[in-house]
Amino acid sequence: MSRFNLKCPDKVNFPLTLFNKIDIFQVNMVTEEIKKRAKQLRKQIEYHNYRYYILDKPEITDAEYDKLFDELVELEKRFPELVTLDSPTQRVGAPPLEKFGTVRHALPMLSLNKATTAEEFNDFHRRVSELLANKGGEINYTVEPKFDGLAVELIYKNGLFVTGSTRGDGITGEDVTVNLRTINSIPLRLNNAPVLLEVRGEVIMFKSQFNKLNENRLRAGEEPFANPRNAAAGSVRQLDSKITASRPLQFFAYGIGTISGMSFNSHFETMMYLKQIGFIVNEHISKLDNIKEVKRYYTRILELRDSLDYDIDGIVIKVDNYHQQHIIGELSRSPRWAIAWKFPPQQVTTVIEDIKVQVGRTGILTPVAHLKPIRVGGVTVSRASLHNEDELKRKDIKIGDMVIIQRAGDVIPEVVKVIKSKRNGTEKSFSMPSACPVCGSKTIRIEGEVAVRCINPYCRAQLVERIFHYASKPAMDIEGLGYKTVEMLVEKGFINDIADLYKIPEHKEEILKMERTGEKWFSNLVRALENSKHPQLENLIYALGIRNVGEHLASVIAKRFGSIDNLKKQSKEQLTRVNEIGPVVAESIIAFFKDKRNIKILNKLMEYGVTFPTSEIATGTGKLSGKNFVLTGTLKGYTRQQATKEIEKYGGRVTSSVSKNTDYVIAGSDPGSKYDKALELGVNILSEEEFKNLLSD
């Protein structure tokens, strides 16, 4: 039954003589004996992987393991026909991909409803009990930690790992098979497995390994990951699986999808089976028969949380019995038989050693608390934004205060409150400076706004932020310009405005003398600069950094006005005629083009070869102008072409996939994954009736 009968497979050493024969005669034909040896090595290596990665009880030394591994690599190199998909040598990664393929999940990968209090958990239990009243017998719950990683699905056909995918939108995920194959705790072959088995679980990175990885990255001058979850997700979603292979990842199984040729009665039973066939099932999984026990479990795991080597953000409670699960049923996005009971955000106390002011791209001054470094939620925190002057006053924060800070998931840490009882009179009040800490210009606070601003557009801090923004991915996408590098380039006086970026090649010699630079980096940067010279209009508009114009508005503006030249000519009235442009945005746009310095920069950009594209102006000024629609399912009264025509008649646009830029999803009968995506992103979903009303309104 089990993949490993926990006895090491045949350990007899391969007769040396055979290798000698191969060497002497250069025989390149695979003999039965060689085949047998390769198979035997594979079995032994997988057995030792299991001892090491799953049970954490190795039986042999690393050197002995390496010897077996090297022998197999050598054999496979000589006889490539011996390489099988499940060979442990295949865990090292495959050639890089251009992009990920997609995998449609046979059964949707649902998400979980959340409870944040005991009352909300009680409500869940009440609902479950009502739905099962007179139908189901006793309720048992399987409880387990809620891992904070990346959900994936592994498909095994006849025991062989064939496809691995991310959860994606729950219906369709990305094909990350080659990457998942590099994770040692994912078995490549299962013995005596069902014909088809889909295993679901979470890819995570242990906190200890995450810390080591970040130390190495810092040493190599690379950006550290924010937290283990980002590190795990980023590593799995790598186009180059060799990078994934170099990252220490783990897989915890927490359920199954489709299974054929075998069946189970309960979740707990399934989990024990998964454990038996070689998956890591979390050691804290339990089956409990009353809610008092569940509450006790919640408290126990909450107490354990910090001592675990992996991040968890709550517990998951599942009705154990599959028949009962079936009776209770599912909603379109989440089952009614399970709930995630989340932990409160982690809080710790530390001291505010100083409050410093940061100057942003638009000149806004933000007070930032410099904290005595402290670990919270798996990462070390040493800064927390205090947002603005009002917030600072409201919380009555002083330098030297002992404070409670919290961090929920990967949310930026925040100061919850001051522990006033710890004050000893040495604390110092802080007020926002009347001069910019970077350029010394006077700062102002516009009436009605909370922000204090530096109004010198030449301020170095603003310049760094503006350049960093210009180079960012949704703007001109110039890779290779890290924040520190931009700071240095500005500091040295090579860059005084965004257009100066294109003069970087002229300063090659001096730049190469700076820290964190190198020939290869430089030539890549020059190429990236060159490639950025032909942007899409929406990216260019966003890159200019017009106040209040974010990514979405930039794309609306591009579609509505079609070119920078045309945008420049618009009056406030003309601008506000567009649905999403209000008076504040309109004024920002006008102020931007009125400023001669900006016009000079635009001219300079053109001079250096940046093309100012034109895009097709959305037809009509109809009531749907600037609105993006997506159609899914079958409409009764319209064909797809007819619906598209109607939308376009009123100035709207129909696109094929749902994104955060989508304004409406029109859902007919039998909607597909676009419907779920819309739910996930909170996009407006209209029925056919509502769509008709919108048109005739």
17-25 — which CB contacts under 8 Å span 24+ positions? 22/78
- Taking CA atoms, 217 is separated from 236, 437, 467, 557, 582, in Å, by 17, 31, 25, 40, 44
* Separation between Cα atoms, residue 142 and residue 161, nearest integer Å: 27
Other CB atoms within 10 A of residue 379 CB? 20
Q: Which is nearer to ligand IVH, 136 or 255 (CB)?
A: 255
CB of 105 to ligand IVH, least distance (A): 12
Q: Does 79 bind ligand IVH (CB under 6 A)?
A: no
Q: Which is nearer to ligand IVH, 316 or 438 (CB)?
A: 316
CB of 100 to ligand IVH, least distance (A): 18
Q: Which is nearer to ligand IVH, 168 or 278 (CB)?
A: 168
Q: Which of residues 85-124 bind ligand IVH (CB under 6 A)?
A: 110-112
Quick one: which of 316, 312, 334 has its CA closest to 149? 312
* Separation between Cα atoms, residue 183 and residue 177, nearest integer Å: 10
Q: Which is nearer to ligand IVH, 108 or 545 (CB)?
A: 108
User: Helical H runs in 318-388?
Assistant: 322-328
Q: Does 343 bind ligand IVH (CB under 6 A)?
A: no
Per-residue tokens: 674:
């676009």
3-class SS at 624? coil
Q: Which is nearer to ligand IVH, 132 or 339 (CB)?
A: 339
Q: Which is nearer to ligand IVH, 37 or 167 (CB)?
A: 167
- DSSP type of residue 472: S
CB of 270 to ligand IVH, least distance (A): 12
* Separation between Cα atoms, residue 447 and residue 32, nearest integer Å: 86
Q: Is 275 in the active site?
A: no
Q: Give the binding range for ligand IVH (CB under 6 A) out of 145-153, 173-181, 468-476, 524-532.
A: 145-153
Q: Is the CB of residue 630 less than 8 Å from the CB of residue 656?
A: yes
CB of 181 to ligand IVH, least distance (A): 20
Specify the residue for token string 């920069």.
601
Q: Which is nearer to ligand IVH, 88 or 201 (CB)?
A: 201
Residue 679 makes CB contacts below 8 A (sequence gap 6+) with 332, 333, 685
Per-residue tokens: 37:
């040896």
Name residue 369's beta-bridge partners.
355, 384
**Strand duo 653-654 + 414-418: pairing:** unpaired
CB of 297 to ligand IVH, least distance (A): 13
Residue nearest to ligand IVH (CB): 151
Q: Give the binding range for ligand IVH (CB under 6 A) out of 146-154, 216-224, 601-609, 669-677.
A: 146-154
Binding characters for ligand IVH, 483-522, by CB under 6 A (x = yes) = ----------------------------------------
CB of 446 to ligand IVH, least distance (A): 42
Q: Give the binding range for ligand IVH (CB under 6 A) out of 139-147, 233-241, 414-422, 592-600.
A: 139-147
Q: Which is nearer to ligand IVH, 281 or 553 (CB)?
A: 281
CA atoms within 13 A on the CB side of 276: 11
CA atoms within 13 A on the CB side of 323: 6
Q: Does 316 bind ligand IVH (CB under 6 A)?
A: yes
* Separation between Cα atoms, residue 214 and residue 131, nearest integer Å: 48
CB of 308 to ligand IVH, least distance (A): 13
CB of 121 to ligand IVH, least distance (A): 15
Q: Which is nearer to ligand IVH, 68 or 183 (CB)?
A: 183
Handedness of CA 525, 526, 529, 531 (dihedral sign): negative
Q: Does 335 bind ligand IVH (CB under 6 A)?
A: yes
CB of 300 to ligand IVH, least distance (A): 16
CB of 336 to ligand IVH, least distance (A): 10
Residue 177 makes CB contacts below 8 A (sequence gap 6+) with 161, 162, 163, 164, 165
Q: Which is nearer to ligand IVH, 112 or 288 (CB)?
A: 112
* List 178, 197, 271, 338, residue binding ligand IVH (CB under 6 A): 338
* List 147, 279, 542, 675, residue binding ligand IVH (CB under 6 A): 147
Q: Give the binding range for ligand IVH (CB under 6 A) out of 36-44, 144-152, 211-219, 586-594.
A: 144-152
* Separation between Cα atoms, residue 196 and residue 263, nearest integer Å: 11
Catalytic residue among 67, 146, 398, 473: 146
Q: Residues touching ligand IVH: how many (CB under 6 A)?
A: 15
* List 144, 174, 198, 320, residue binding ligand IVH (CB under 6 A): 144
Q: Does 233 bind ligand IVH (CB under 6 A)?
A: no
Backbone dihedral angles phi then psi of residue 57, each to the nearest 5 degrees:
-135, 75
Q: Give the binding range for ligand IVH (CB under 6 A) out of 97-105, 332-340, 429-437, 489-497.
A: 332-340
Binding characters for ligand IVH, 246-285, by CB under 6 A (x = yes) = --------xx------------------------------
Q: Is the CB of residue 525 less than 8 Å from the CB of residue 451?
A: no
Per-residue tokens: 33:
């004996």
* List 202, 401, 414, 465, residue binding ligand IVH (CB under 6 A): 202
H or E, element range at 557: helix 551-561
* List 125, 167, 466, 653, residue binding ligand IVH (CB under 6 A): 167
CA angle, 66 then 201 then 682, to 5°: 135
Other CB atoms within 10 A of residue 117 CB? 11
Q: Give the binding range for ligand IVH (CB under 6 A) out of 141-149, 230-238, 403-411, 527-535.
A: 141-149
* Separation between Cα atoms, residue 264 and residue 270, nearest integer Å: 6
DSSP 242-294: HHHHTS--EEEEEEEEEEES---SBHHHHHHHHHHTT-EE-TT-EEESSHHHH
* Separation between Cα atoms, residue 505 and residue 511, nearest integer Å: 9
CB of 111 to ligand IVH, least distance (A): 4
Name the residues annotated as catalytic.
146
Q: List residues binding ligand IVH (CB under 6 A).
A: 110-112, 144, 146-147, 151, 167, 202, 254-255, 316, 335, 338, 340
